[in-house]
Structure 1
Amino acid sequence: MNPPREDRSAPPSVPGRARLIKWLTGPRAIFYGSLVVAFVMASLCATVLYQSRHDAMERARENSRNVALIAERDIERNFELYALSLQAVVEGLGKPEVMALPPHLRSQLLFDRAATADYLGSMLVLDAAGNVVMDSASDTPRKANFADRDYFTVQRDNPNAGLFVSAPFHSRLRNGAPSIALSRRLSNADGSFAGIVMIAINLEYFHRLFAGLSLGPHGAISVIAQNGVMIMRQPYDSAVVGRNISKASTFRKFRSAAEGSFLDTSSIDGVRRLYFFRNFPQLPLIIMVAEAQPDIYAAWRRRALTIGSLMGAFALGFVALSFMLGTQLRRRMRAESELELLARTDSLTGLHNRRTLGEILDLEWRRARRARGVFSLLFVDIDRFKAYNDKYGHQAGDDALAAVARCIGENIRRPADTAARYGGEEFIVVLPDTLREGAYAIAEKIRLAISELAIEHSESEYGRVTASIGSASWTPEQDIDVTQVIKAADQALYDAKARGRNRVATCAA
């Protein structure tokens, strides 16, 4: 019986570290490495593009804030002028010496500050019934009643209304021109309602102001009263001006803080925008600037498409190139492996050649000496092979050698057992960790298998191709060299031939 032997499924001549290095420099490593590099490049590109997208949003937010501040300051400056004009009229009406002046002088004195203001319609003084009693446009007041306007009713009903900004309306004195009004209350000495002073502002003022502010093709800018009434919106829509949007989600956010920004979808046109809003500190107004999300990301999207396409093409090209390189490397490694196999293998029989046999013998012999294990060797020789060649030709001889080699290979099954062509019609089988009896049994199986091939050999005494086998074994108690084991197996082979061929002979080294 052969003693158990360590697993030799992994060749001992290729240690784990060498296999790892070989894998790391192999075609698969190149391909997977290229995938990792492409993934890293794509990740870096995606990170940069994501940061660029974030920066685009931040720039849009800052731009909206700047636009809102510009519009706010312009509106505050002009409304302050209008408010001063109203206050001057209120104060003048309370002075008896002013009221005693002739109408044209009184009109010049009271309405002088408003005369040079842009986009003003008219400044009127209304009595407690809403009738025009003084008119900046004429010494003789135009006949009209505005008791139904909100700028009148709010002042009438609320003594503390202060400066009131009306909802948009169509002027009855200026052919329906869209306007808003600023009004202040006039009170009698006892505090009762005496009428109002109002000034009409043409909405064209907001048109001109907003037209000079760039917000992209889908941007919007609005001035909204704090009660939710839309005073002006750019792009202009007459159906939107004057609408109450106090129920909209955007307006609720406008009233939640002094200023801020957020993303939301407009209740007016359904466009998603970045809103920046600011409540006027001195006026009951809200300025809102909104850039459309598609406009904010338009330049970024073009840049991302260009960079992403180039990076994608580069990554795919890199992976494809790595794949081609890996394929070429695989072919080269396969060719080198085949060359190495050819260099270590006998081309006719497919068994190890004599050079490889020397390496195997050296390795297994040193291992056997270290482990103090039994080492056996078989020397196989085809009987009367020269006569076979002469009779049947060299091609038939080659076929017979190949058939015998297959028989030898099929009858040594352990991974550590090795067969090699020693030269001509001679073969050597190396059997590490195999006792003499086990070696003999294997030799007998090989001999019998060769005989059962039944290859015709008329020059042989057996009428078929046969083989003689010499077996030699080394035991730990002996102190000899591997060449002596080979000589012993060779001597046993000669003994087998001398005893009639087609048999196995054993000789201890």
Structure 2
Amino acid sequence: MASLCATVLFESRHDALERAKENSRNVALVAERDIERNFELYSLSLQAVVDGIGRPDVMALPAHLRSQLLFDHAITAEYLGAMIVLDEAGNVVMNSGSDTPLKANFADRDYFTVQRDNPHAGLYVSAPYRSRLRNGSPSIALSRRLSHPDGSFAGAVIIAINLEYFHQLFAGLSLGRHGAVSLIAQDGTMIMRQPYDPAVVGRNIRNASTFRHFLAASEGSFSDTSSIDGVRRMYFFRNFPHQPLIIMVAEAEPDIYAAWRRRALTIGTLMGTFAIGFVGLSFVLATQLRRRMRAESELQLLARTDSLTGLNNRRTLGEILEQEWRRARRARSVFSLLFVDIDRFKAYNDQYGHQAGDDALAAVARCIGENIRRPADTAARYGGEEFIVVLPDTLLEGACAIAEKIRHAISELAIEHAGSEYGRVTASIGSASWSPDKDADVTQIIKAADQALYDAKARGRNRVAMCAA
């Protein structure tokens, strides 16, 4: 019996470590996706300026028109500085927000020298530095090269990111009292670390034992002692797929095993009071039951949701429609549906690829979910690029207002779509409603919403049309 109890405690300790690994991995993925998404948007803005400067007709425009055109897509956010254009000597020749260039030279910055010396640098992420334009605030910069028609160096386009963005992002992550999360360049430069210490930012840790693990694989986990604060932690790391960055999440071993130690002490105490067999068997049965319940819950969730978008799947939609339809007829209340379809999605898939198409579907699904607020309102993926939103107790006018919010939010994602007449991913939405004085069934409402969607497409797309069932 003592062996059984020891085995259970050992497994429980192993489970605590596995849970910590999974939690660290989830935290790393959340941070990575946030950073990757923002960097992708910043990169697109930089590329738009590079492309514009390469067009003689754009550069021939008056300064104020040229500035408006070049920086029309420049991203503005709380933690971003101005976008600047440097010539081959590092002098500012253009900048967003002003027709008059700043009088400054940045030829000594790595984001300039790397582009100058390497024609194939692409999107470059600089080391941390203190900004000369924003009162010395710690920042990093993203840059892209400008080239003359013969390929020689013509300058660089720069956008600065305040390190406070990473500080605030990491501060919102829960990692225990002694946990840490870091963003590290692949050359070993520390860009940001939480707990935050200004002295650590910019330090190079390439000689640390932990950093050698980061370069050995695209992602993984291990236990080691930090070279910064001497705390032993379980590390999870992941190299960014598209940027020269590494996200590292580490939970301290005392935090990981704190609950396990309390449990072990309790079991040890109970062994002196109760029969060892009763305690050991109860613990094993409870552990197995929890695992089974968790597995069944996860399987049930997977069976009801669409794996790509996280919305309800078509099977679940049928159950929801049937339930809400019966309730509406019984309570004689209004009942509305929205039929959402992404415009020219096949052309988007053909041009940008299926991965980009999946990302666009997921982004649109988030927009839909974020714009339906009541607990009874539900959304589901109907098939392909089509979604249905169920709005119980909602008049047609209210449904159209919600549809317009969803349509506007999707458009504001500003996902580039060269095959669309709007230049971005948009959606058309059909709205239909049933009221107690009408003789119709749920199938007719879906058909009515579909017809309204067809009308919205016929009237030019990126709009909302309504049809009473």
TM-score bin (small chain)? 0.5 to 0.7
Q: Which amino acid aligns with 1:163?
A: L
2:191 is matched with: 231
Q: Which amino acid aligns with 1:237?
A: D
1:266 is matched with: 226
Matched, 1:295 2:261: no
Write out aligned runs for 1:54-453 (5 A).
54-314=14-274
Q: Give distance in 1, aligned partners of 2:190 and 2:39.
A: 17
Q: Give distance in 2, aligned partners of 1:104 and 1:311.
A: 81
Q: Which amino acid aligns with 1:79?
A: F
Point out where structure 2 has 5 or more consecutive residues left out of the alignment: 279-469
Structure 1's consecutive aligned runs of 4 or more residues displaced over 3 angstroms after TM superposition are: 115-118, 312-316
Which deviates more, 97-106 or 142-151?
Answer: 97-106
Q: Give distance in 2, aligned partners of 1:313 and 1:45.
A: 14
**Shift, 1:296, TM fit:** 0.6
Q: Which amino acid aligns with 1:55?
A: D
Q: Is the 8 A contact 2:106 2:112 kept in 1?
A: yes
**Shift, 1:145, TM fit:** 0.8
1:47 is matched with: 7
Q: Which amino acid aligns with 1:60?
A: A
**Shift, 1:312, TM fit:** 3.6
Q: Give distance in 1, aligned partners of 2:192 and 2:225.
A: 19
**Shift, 1:118, TM fit:** 4.3
TM-aligned CA distance change 1:312 to 1:107, over 3 Å: farther
Q: Give distance in 2, aligned partners of 1:76 and 1:304.
A: 42
Q: Give distance in 2, aligned partners of 1:291 and 1:207.
A: 18
**Structure 1, residues 189-216: CA drift from partner, whole Å, max 9, x if none?**
1111111001000111111211221111
Aligned length: 277
Q: Which amino acid aligns with 2:178?
A: H
Q: Which amino acid aligns with 2:171?
A: A
**Shift, 1:314, TM fit:** 4.0
Q: Which amino acid aligns with 1:162?
A: G
Q: Give distance in 1, aligned partners of 2:272 and 2:138.
A: 55
Q: Which amino acid aligns with 1:112?
A: D
- Aligned-pair Cα RMSD in Å: 1.5
Q: Give distance in 1, aligned partners of 2:272 and 2:17.
A: 25
Q: Give distance in 1, aligned partners of 2:91 and 2:76.
A: 25
Q: Give distance in 2, aligned partners of 1:105 and 1:303.
A: 69
Q: Give distance in 2, aligned partners of 1:179 and 1:57.
A: 35
Q: Which amino acid aligns with 1:67?
A: V
Q: Is the 8 A contact 1:45 1:308 kept in 2?
A: no
Q: Give distance in 2, aligned partners of 1:178 and 1:52.
A: 44
Q: Which amino acid aligns with 1:143?
A: K
